[in-house]
Each structure stands twice: as C-alpha cells, then as structure tokens.
Amino acid sequence: MSEQAQKNSGADQSRRLLRRRFSYRLVRLATQWRREIDLDLRQFDLTDATWRPLYYLRVLPAPVRQTDLARAMLVEAQSLVRLLDVLERRGLIHRDTDPDDRRSKLVTLTDAGVAMGETVLGVADGVAARFLEGVSDDALKECEAVFDQVWSGRGHDRASVEGSSTACRQLSPESDT
C-alpha cells in the first residue's frame, strides 16, 4: 500500500471513529435528557409517553392534525392514538373531525391541557438549564448549526422529516412569542 493510501486509510478510520463517538454521545445525551424530564414530571403523573404529546401540542400552532403530531414526534400514528386516548380521558386534550378532511382528527389542548403543557415546558426548560449550565450561547449556536446541517442532509427518514422540521422551526428563537 502506498504512503498516500495509508494516510487516506488512517484519515478514513479517524473520521469513522469521530463520527461514531459523536453519534454515541448524541444518543446518550438525548436519552439522559428525556430521562431527566421524565423523572421531574412523574410528580404530575406524566410519563415520557404522555408528556411528549403535551410538549408538542403546546409548541405547535393549534389545532394540530393527529398525523402531523405523530410525524413531529417521530412516532407511528397508531401508537399516538393510544396516547391521545389516555390524554383525552384525563381531560387534557380534545379531538375533533377535521372539516377539510373528515378522515383526519384535529387535536387541541383543553384549558387543563394548556396548563399541564406549560408545566411540561417549564420542566423541560429547567432540565435544559441544568444540562447547559456553563455552555456559552456561541457554543449552542454552533451546535445548532451542526444539528441543522445533519438534519437537512442525509441519514434520516424523509417521510418523518417534514413534520419534524416544522416542529423544529416552531422551537426556533424566531418563533418564540
């Protein structure tokens, strides 16, 4: 093997290891972040499965089509139906038939759901403050730029990206009102 080929092989190996470490850390961090939110929300009788729809329903413009909510949450529509049944029985959401498409359901938060959604957002903000303590705004912006580049590139299910991208835009600073 030529010297140049060995350098290229070494660079390729380094790149693979760097990407592997990045991926591993990203997955671990996301898992731990959600676990912390989950632990903090247990006192409100919410689990990861039940607080996530409330979170998304609170940040997305109402009403939200059930299929769009599933897409934003990166879950199967059938799985979401069961979660929404639970939230509806608890009086946190209401589902109506979409007047533009009678096959679709529109999901809105009830007054109690809005209040619980605000609690979820507050807890999520608290976890973010704990996790990001000491991280500069410039570092966060740089990390966001990497996430945006990765998200808009390859390696994800394009069918789920449309709704997720909308959710990401809803969470951007420009959309906070």
Q: In the 8-state DSSP scheme, what is residue 173?
A: G
Place of tokens 């639970």: 86
Q: What is the pLDDT of residue 163?
A: 47
For the chain, list residues with pLDDT below 50: 158-165, 172-177
Q: What is the pLDDT of residue 160?
A: 47
- Buried/exposed code over 133-166 (b: 16+ C-beta within 10 A; e: otherwise): eeeeeeeeeeeeeeeeeeeeeeeeeeebeebbeb
Q: What is the pLDDT of residue 9?
A: 80
Q: What is the pLDDT of residue 10?
A: 80
- DSSP class per residue in 25-51: HHHHHHHHHHHHHHHHHGGGT--HHHH
Domain of residue 33, CATH code? 1.10.10.10
Question: Residue 168 belongs to what domain range?
Answer: 3-175
Q: Look at the chain and report how many structural domains it folds into.
A: 1
Q: What is the pLDDT of residue 154?
A: 62
- Report pLDDT digits (tens) over 137-160: 999 999 999 999 988 886 555 444
